[in-house]
Amino acid sequence: MKYMQLLVRVQSQIQSRRIQKLENQERQQAQSKEAESTLGKWTSQVVSRHLVI
């Protein structure tokens, strides 16, 4: 019985860590997309300013 409880606990920890890993990956991807978008806007503004000058 103890071994079954231990097995269930370990499986639960593994599942929890997998979920955390996926959530972190999703968060990092969202941050990367946001950074790329911000950089793209900034680059466009710089190019526009140079064209005006």
**Per-residue pLDDT tens over the stretch 5-39:** 999 999 999 999 999 999 999 999 999 999 888 87
Q: Cβ-count burial of 46 within 10 angstroms (0-12 exposed, 13-18 middle, 19+ buried)?
A: exposed
Q: Which two tokens stand for residue 8?
A: 């269930």
Identify the residue whose tokens are 């946001």: 34
Grade residue 47 by pLDDT with cuts at 50, 70 and 90. low
Q: What is the secondary structure of 8-50 as a DSSP string?
A: HHHHHHHHHHHHHHHHHHHHHHHHHHHHHHHHHHHHHHHHHHH
pLDDT value for 52: 64
Structural domain spans, the chain: 1-53
